[in-house]
Each structure stands twice: as C-alpha cells, then as structure tokens.
Structure 1
Amino acid sequence: MASSRAVPNLAFRRLRGQRSPGEFAAAVRRAAREIGEQVACDARYIGRVESGEIRCPNYAYERVFLHMFPGRSLTDLGFVARERVRGRAARAAAGAPAPPTPFRNDEESDVLRRAFMTGGTATVAAASLGLGPVPVPAARAARRGGGADTLGTIPAPRAGGRFGDSEVAAVEEAVRRIRLLDDRHGADGLYARAAVPLRSAYALLDSGTAARQSTADRLHTGAGELALSVGWLAHDSGRVEDARSHYAEALATARVGGDPGLEAHAFSNTSFLARDAGRFREAVRAAQAGQHAAKHLSSARLLSLLALREAGGWAGLADRAACEEALGRAHTLFGRGASDADPEWMSFFGEPELEFLEAQCWSLLGEPDRAVRHARRAAALNDPNFARNLALYRAQLAADLARGGAPEEAAAVGGQVLDLLGDVRSTRIESMLAETARVLHPHRARPEVAAFLTRRRPVAPLQGGV
C-alpha cells in the first residue's frame, strides 16, 4: 500500500542478500511454482516491498514468502500484520460487515480473486497485486521479431510527468496495430515486440498526470486494452502464464479505473484462457462475472460472446443442460444484431466465430457430428483480413472430422491449415493440428493421412497452466 509515511522494509532487504531485485524476483517465481501458486513477481515488485510501499502482501505472495522462509511470520519478514492493514480484517475488527467474496471455489485461480481486491491508484493496484508488466528488454525483443517501431512508439511523460492526448492516442494506435497484425499473421512473431509499448503505456499510467480527467480515463482504458492485446498474443503463442499475468493486470486496471467495458473484456479473455487450459469452472465464473460487468453496456453482441464463453466452460464440465441454456442465450443475443455500443475489439465476432465457439462446445460434449456441422459453417469464412481465424476454424473442423471418423477429409482440411500457416504463426493452432495428427495416426496407411502427417511440423503443446 503506497503511503507518504512508507517505512523501508529492511528485514526483507536483508533476506534478499547479494541477489539483485531481478534475481530475487526469479527466486520468488520459482518458489511459487513449487507450491502451485502463480505470482507475476518482478524487480519492480521487490523494490516496492523493500521501500515499504507494500505494507502487507496479498494471500498468494504470503504463501510463497512463508514457503521460502519457513518458521517465519509476516512480521518477521518486515511486513505489517494483516489485521493492522486497512481491509477486510480491519473492517471486521471495527464491527463493519466485510464485502462478499465473488469467488469461493479453491479450484478457481488467484487471478480472479485478486481482481476484486484493487483500490486506490493504478500504481497501488499493480504493486499490491504483483501485476506489473512482463519485462522484455528491447534488444531481445528486436532479435525475436523486429523492432517495436512497427507497433508504434509511445512517448515518455513530458516534463513534470504530464501526458496529453497525443500520448494516449499513441497507446490506442498500438492496440489497433497489434490487432491488425494478429488478424493477418497470428501471434508468434508479435509477442516479444508488443511488450515494449505495453511497458511504456504503464510507465505513463504509473508516473504521469493528465490535465483533464477524460484524458486520464482514456489512458486507463488504452493501457488495459493494450495489456489484453499483449495477453492475447501470449495466449495464442502458447505462453499461458504470461497471458494470465497480462489479463490479471488488465482486470486490475479496469477495477481501478471503474471501466465496465474493459472489465468485461478482461473477464472474456480470462474465461477463454481458462477454457483452453482445462480450468472449466473458472471459465464459467469468469464469463458470468463478465456478463455482470457488461449488463448495462447496451451491447447484445458482447453479452452473446460472454454467454458463449460460459457455454464453453459448462461443456468442459460435461453439464449439457447448462451449456445448451447458455448457447440459447448467445444465439438470442446475437440475433439482436450489431449496435454502435459494440466495442471496437469485437470486430472478429461475426457468425463464423459464433459457429466456431459452438463447435467447440459440442466437441467437448462428445458429439463430433454436431461439432462438424458448426465447424463447417465457421470454416466457410473467406476474408483475407482474418487469415488467422480462417486457419483456426479449419483446424477445429479438421479435429472434429478426425474424431468423427472421417480421416481422409480431416487430413485434407488439415492440409489446408498447413497451407495457411505459411503466413500465419500461432502455436495454439499448431497445437490443435498436433492433436488432430495424434487422432489420425492409426489411419496412417491411408495416402491422404500419410501425406498430412508427413507435412505437419511437430510443435510443443501449450506450456503452463491456469
């Protein structure tokens, strides 16, 4: 918690010893993995702990620190006892009722729980939640796919830390460029480069001031949308832990800025990531939270997408009745048509995406014939501006055909996806093809199948978990 009376945490500094803040942050992340926790610790977080800005860590960090230093309490580590920090315990001590906790199931991720614990400024939120941007040095970013200038340059704050419309416009333009390039080429070549403007946007947000509140609000939204765009690049390129961190940062930014549109978008992406990682109950709860955030935004299409996200979670939980109910809501809402209230980021959400997401539901429910029917409709997309989505939809169709007992057609469609992957790089799509190849392997004596298996380049599956 930031305060003008912050007292340096010398005990924690002594525990770091000769290690640099970055080295110590890496040790914290390793310790978290040892106990199944997920924290996005970086050197900035360690600096804020040592400066006294973070008086008491959140529960995830508490478990990690106590694991790293067994036998010690939070106060031994230089933190203020939790009951002395303003929050739930302090309210309880004063006799005030604590606010309800939206997520109660231990299976659900700390990303969701932490999203409801924000308050104060963006700096306080990022520090107290440990949700700083993932640092990627510019030199390494350039080696992994070109300079960041192709995504736009976000200027530093002006003298006195002020920023204006031009700086905010640069953040918004970076979001548009990332989305455009992703639609055409996929995420794999963009992720490292996109971390550079993201870091610049949050530097503005953390240290700058605006002359007008409207400009500050635009920066909050722009930085949050940029975090979601970079998170999506991480998601689509198989970097699940990075995606989770970026989505959590966007959630915190949305809550601090009081932006329900950004919050709904963040929950939509969080639900999507959870479904892809097999955390289906979390996918349901995130989608439901997104619908709650979006209920007053007058966008039926946004609510339709969130209902589809919920349906995907129910399908993964094998709850057919709940899945069908959510699908019904999605179709009803979609049928109300587009409106001026639909967010700009939803340009991808047309009938092909609706059919694709429904195909995924039937596939999870073990009905490949129904999945194929919807995947065929999705794969009929013929828009060169959405090359990545066309590859994705055909990859889904190939998988459903393989599971549905049509190996030759599955191999043919898989070959079409391989043709598209010359210009589109997506680890997620390649992982889908890997699964299709696994299902087709028993049919490798058939020439069509053998040709597909020979062409397909093996890739590693999605890394990490949610």
Structure 2
Amino acid sequence: MAASPHSPNSTFRRLRGQHSPAEFAALVRRAGREIGETVSCDARYIGRVESGEIRCPNYAYERVFLRMFPGRTLADLGFPPREAVRGRAAQREPSPTPRSPAGTGSGTGAGTSPKESDVLRRAFMAGGSATVAVATLGLALPGDTRRTPSRAGEAEAEAVEESVRQIRLLDDRHGADALYRKAAEPLRTAYALLDAGATRQSTEDRLHAGAGELAVSVGWLAHDSGRFDDARSHYAEALATARVSGNPGLEAHAFSNMSFLARDCGRSREAVRAAQAGGRAARSLGSPRLLSLLALREAGGWAGLADRRACEEALARAHTDFAKGGAAADPEWMSFFGEAELESLEARCWSALGEHARAARHARRAADLQDPHFARNVALYTAELAGDLARAGAPDEAAWAGARVLDLLDEVQSTRVRSTLAGTARGLVPHQRSPRVHAFLARHADLAEV
C-alpha cells in the first residue's frame, strides 16, 4: 500500500535560513557537543526533517534543537505533538485486510500497537517513577503475544528501533535495576520478528540491526545491575547478530560493551582484546568518536593490567580522535559519549593505576560537565568522585560527594552506583569522627536498611 505523503515542515526550513543543509547539520552537531549530546546529523537528516519524513525528532535531537532555538517549543519548530504522531499515522494507514489475532494482515503494518511507544514516552516525559515507566515498557504484538506476523514489515522494524531508544532514555533517567526484567520482553519479541522474516531485504537489515542493538541495551541493563553472566550472554547474542548480518557498527558496539564488562569482571586482558577487535570493526565507519570510545575501553584494560605505558598510549589516541569532533557517521547510541564520559573513563584508568588524586580531578570534571538530564550518569560520576577522594585522603570532600549521590538515589536505581557508594562508605569508617563523614555514614546506613 502506498505511504501517505508527508507534509513539509516549512517552519523548520525557514529557521535554517541561508545555511545549506550540510552547514546547518554542522551547527546541529556543534550545539549537541555543547550540551554533551552526540547526534549523527547530516544534510540528509535535515532534508528528511524539512520534507516531513521525520515528523517528530527523538529526544536527543529535541534537546539539541531547543538549545539552538531557546524559548521555543517543538511546535514552534514545526513539529506536531509527540503523542499525536503515531496515533495519526495509524489512522491514515488502515490495514487492507482484517487482521487475525496474530497480526498477520498487511506486511507493512501488522504486529505493532501504535499506543505502546506513546504510553512509554508520556511516562518518561512526565518524569514519573521508574516503576511507572517500567510498567509501560514493552514491544507487544496485538492479540496472542506468543505468535508473530508471518512476515515482518516496516512497522515492526520501527517498533524495535523505538524500543531501543526508549530503553536507553529510561536508563539515562532511572538506572538499570528496575528496567532489566521488563526490557527482556521486547528483546524476545524482536528476535521472534527476525525469525519470522521480512517483506524486504532492507527491512530485514533494519530488524537485524534493531534486534542487535536491543540485545546490547538489555545486556547493558543486566551489566549495570550486577547480572554479569546475563550481560555476557546478551552481548554475545548482539555480536552474533552483527556478524550474521555483516553490520560492523553493531559489531563495534557489542565489542565496546564486552570490553567494559570484562574490565568490571577483572578480566583485563580480555577487555583489551575486545576493545581492539571493536576498533578493527569501527575503522571503516568514519566515526572518530567511536574510535575514541574504543581506545578508552582499551586504556581501561591496560590500566587493569598495570601497564601504564600502554594505557597512556591508548588515552592519547582517545583524546586525538575525540578532538576531531562529531561526524555524520557517529552512531545514535553514542549520545551518552561527550566530554563528561571521556573524563570519567580516564578517571577510572588513573584510579586503577593507583593515582587517586589525579583520578579525582578527572572524576570531578566528569560530574561537573554532565548534563543533569542524564541522572544516572550524574550519580555514577559523583559516586566515583567520592571513592577517588576517599582513597586520595580527602574524607570530608568524599563525604560531601557521597551525600550528593544519596540525594539522587530516589530516582536512580543502579546497582553499580550503590555498590560504588558502599565501597566509599566502608573506606570512610576510620574517619567517622568528622561531623561531615559521620552524617554521610548515618544516611548511608539508613539507606542500606531500606
């Protein structure tokens, strides 16, 4: 069935002014860097917005656009209300044949409930608790969810991609603990859709990429909530999907997370090898920022092996590639990787090498630079700062940083953050005669009893 024509976004076109699409895309990327967002904006993306093909930007682009045009709303930029986008699309695209409970009607529209992502987005934007958000999370098929469409279409591919975005957004906001079990459900559905096959090769490629990215995201939720064996399994699933579909970007992403996991599990040499493998996969992608992140992963492995020289060489490569700036080829999942994350990953290297005062300087910069929207990362960076300060012999400052983390734990549910903070609390016990340290330890003890 022919798709409905898009209504051009003439408002956005007027805001572009005399800039070419490529020039305007460069301005968008620069604005993103200013707030710690890495957006893969190019002339093609601007064209898709202006043609109306992109009816509402994702949240990363929304934050960048509102940064560029302060005081304006998405409506002022020519976009329809976010909650209306899917509903109207569904109304304009009726199924040409009645759908069975399994959703086996039109190959381009079967199998997704247009309200699913809208409900999730509203829960997220309303700033509700993680419990409310998790209750809405899912990639459900109408009718009997044990069955899938006979052939997946564009709507299914879009639903998988949207689930990836929403899981990442909720993780940024709330942390992994409350999300992991629920996020496994859309992952199972995504692979069921992949097994069902697709109407076109381009759709099958999107499903492979989406299912693989979903596996990485669910793996990260397991990783961050301390379920390391589960995380390893999900990352391996993503890597297998990448290799089956010949997707070097997904392969690099899987290896990046596998390296991070290996470092956390104390397998430092494996962390180095996985990061290097990711670098080889990413070499042809044209994304210096991705190479920078993989070099930082490698540096973390070398630090765990106490190889200072190799660590410093990897850090130097990371800074060189990062300084090249964002590129159109930067993956969407790297929106978290700004200067704050670079500082945090470097801080972990110096901490592993025993240079805690130096680590604390980088951790402090990471916490100061992080966009408050990424509440989970603010909490993590500040918890790491507290630990570095405690080990550097600054207990009062460590207690101050620890108290800041406690203030965030109502919203952020992350085993990583809590375990990092618990280690700091244990290290501060000998200094509990300090009023500030005593107050922090008392608050932390109350939290542990909850």
With normalisation by structure 2, the TM-score equals 0.68
User: Within 5 Å, which residues of 2 pair with 1:137-176?
Assistant: 149-153=136-140, 161-176=150-165
Q: 1:389 aligns with which of 377, 381, 384?
A: 377
Q: Quick one: structure 1 residues 205 and 157, their matched pair in 2 at CA, closer, same or farther if it must change by over 3 Å? A: farther
Q: Quick one: structure 1 residues 229 and 160, their matched pair in 2 at CA, closer, same or farther if it must change by over 3 Å? A: closer
1:238 aligns with 2:256: no
- 1:293 Cα deviation after fit: 0.4
1:342 aligns with 2:316: no
Does the 8 Å contact 2:272/2:302 carry over to 1?
yes
SS in 1 for 2:202: helix
SS in 1 for 2:374: helix
Name the residue aligned to 2:280: 292
Q: Output the CA distance in 2 between the equivalents of 1:370 and 1:440.
A: 19
Q: After superposition, what is the alpha-carbon deviation per residue over 1:134-186, rounded to whole angstroms, capped at 9, x for unaligned?
A: xxxxxxxxxx8776643443566998721100011110000000000110111
Q: Quick one: structure 1 residues 153 and 385, their matched pair in 2 at CA, closer, same or farther if it must change by over 3 Å? A: farther
**Quick one: percent identity of the two aligned structures?**
71
Q: Output the CA distance in 1 between the equivalents of 2:226 and 2:148.
A: 40
User: Within 5 Å, which residues of 2 pair with 1:111-130?
Assistant: none
Amino acid at match of 1:150: L
Amino acid at match of 1:304: S
Deviates more, 1:176-185 or 1:155-164: 155-164
Amino acid at match of 1:247: Y
Q: Quick one: structure 1 residues 346 and 414, their matched pair in 2 at CA, closer, same or farther if it must change by over 3 Å? A: same
Root-mean-square deviation (Å): 2.0
User: Within 5 Å, which residues of 2 pair with 1:5-154?
Assistant: 149-153=136-140
Name the residue aligned to 1:328: 316
SS in 2 for 1:345: helix
Does the 8 Å contact 2:364/2:385 carry over to 1?
yes
Deviates more, 1:291-300 or 1:442-451: 442-451
1:180 aligns with 2:169: yes
User: Within 5 Å, which residues of 2 pair with 1:160-239?
Assistant: 161-206=150-195, 208-239=196-227
Q: Output the CA distance in 2 between the equivalents of 1:443 and 1:411.
A: 10
Q: Output the CA distance in 2 between the equivalents of 1:183 and 1:159.
A: 30
Q: 2:246 aligns with which of 233, 251, 258?
A: 258
Q: Output the CA distance in 1 between the equivalents of 2:230 and 2:278.
A: 21
Name the residue aligned to 1:404: 392
Does the 8 Å contact 2:138/2:185 carry over to 1?
no
Q: Output the CA distance in 1 between the equivalents of 2:331 and 2:322.
A: 14
Does the 8 Å contact 1:411/1:452 carry over to 2?
yes
Amino acid at match of 1:425: Q
Deviates more, 1:209-218 or 1:260-269: 209-218
- 1:458 Cα deviation after fit: 8.4
Name the residue aligned to 2:269: 281
Amino acid at match of 1:388: R
Does the 8 Å contact 1:312/1:360 carry over to 2?
yes
Does the 8 Å contact 2:224/2:416 carry over to 1?
yes
Does the 8 Å contact 2:180/2:222 carry over to 1?
yes
Q: Output the CA distance in 2 between the equivalents of 1:218 and 1:457.
A: 48
Q: Output the CA distance in 1 between the equivalents of 2:271 and 2:212.
A: 20
Does the 8 Å contact 1:394/1:417 carry over to 2?
yes
- 1:301 Cα deviation after fit: 0.2
Q: Output the CA distance in 1 between the equivalents of 2:447 and 2:306.
A: 29
Does the 8 Å contact 1:154/1:167 carry over to 2?
no
Does the 8 Å contact 1:184/1:385 carry over to 2?
yes
- 1:259 Cα deviation after fit: 0.5
Count residues with an aligned counterpart.
Answer: 317
Name the residue aligned to 2:421: 433
Q: 1:452 aligns with which of 436, 440, 443?
A: 440
SS in 1 for 2:186: helix
Contiguous gaps of at least 5 residues in structure 2: 1-130
Q: Output the CA distance in 1 between the equivalents of 2:306 and 2:378.
A: 28
Q: Quick one: structure 1 residues 199 and 421, their matched pair in 2 at CA, closer, same or farther if it must change by over 3 Å? A: same
Does the 8 Å contact 1:148/1:194 carry over to 2?
no
Q: Quick one: structure 1 residues 452 and 298, their matched pair in 2 at CA, closer, same or farther if it must change by over 3 Å? A: same
Q: Output the CA distance in 1 between the equivalents of 2:447 and 2:242.
A: 35
Q: Output the CA distance in 2 between the equivalents of 1:408 and 1:251.
A: 44
Q: Output the CA distance in 1 between the equivalents of 2:273 and 2:148.
A: 44
Does the 8 Å contact 1:359/1:375 carry over to 2?
yes
Q: After superposition, what is the alpha-carbon deviation per residue over 1:317-349, rounded to whole angstroms, capped at 9, x for unaligned?
A: 000000000000000000000011000000000
Q: Output the CA distance in 2 between the equivalents of 1:248 and 1:281.
A: 18
Name the residue aligned to 1:362: 350
Does the 8 Å contact 2:134/2:179 carry over to 1?
no
SS in 1 for 2:176: coil
Q: 1:307 aligns with which of 283, 295, 299?
A: 295
Amino acid at match of 1:204: L
SS in 2 for 1:162: coil
- 1:211 Cα deviation after fit: 2.0
Q: After superposition, what is the alpha-carbon deviation per residue over 1:406-438, rounded to whole angstroms, capped at 9, x for unaligned?
A: 000000100000101111010001010011111
